[in-house]
Amino acid sequence: MRPVLVTVSPPDAAQRLLALLEDYFAELAEEGDPATISVEPIDSHRRGTVIYRVIQASWTIENEFPDSRMYIITEDGNRWRLPPPEM
């Protein structure tokens, strides 16, 4: 199973996202600007839970770091902007 990957810029926003996802054992996969955060789901059933939590946390990051840029990297390599637009 592949991890959930999120790119985050600036580095301070990446560190804050890591802290928010600590309960999901998020790790810094790649330092830099943007940084890449990796979250390994426990099993395939919890992948959706991890993605949902990443989306929730992205709203906090956007509020605390208005100039931040976040993207979730899909399994096929596409990037989706976080947080998603409101419907």
Asked if the model's pLDDT at residue 7 lies above 80, the reply is yes
Instruction: Read off the pLDDT of residues 12-57 as tens digits, 9 standing for 90 and up.
Output: 999 999 999 999 999 999 999 999 999 999 888 899 999 999 999 9
Instruction: Read off the pLDDT of residues 66-81 as tens digits, 9 standing for 90 and up.
Output: 999 999 999 899 999 9
Domains identified in the chain, total number: 1
Asked if the model's pLDDT at residue 87 lies above 80, the reply is no
Tell me, yes or no, whether 34 lies in a domain.
yes
Q: Quickly list H helices, the chain.
A: 11-20, 47-64
Placement of tokens 């990443």 in the chain: 54
Q: Check which CATH number belongs to the domain holding 76 and give it.
A: 3.30.70
pLDDT of residue 13: 98
Q: How far apart are CA 39 and CA 59, in angstroms?
A: 18
14 bridge partner residues: none
Question: What range defines the domain where residue 29 resides?
Answer: 4-82
70 bridge partner residues: 8, 82
Tell me, yes or no, whether 87 lies in a domain.
no
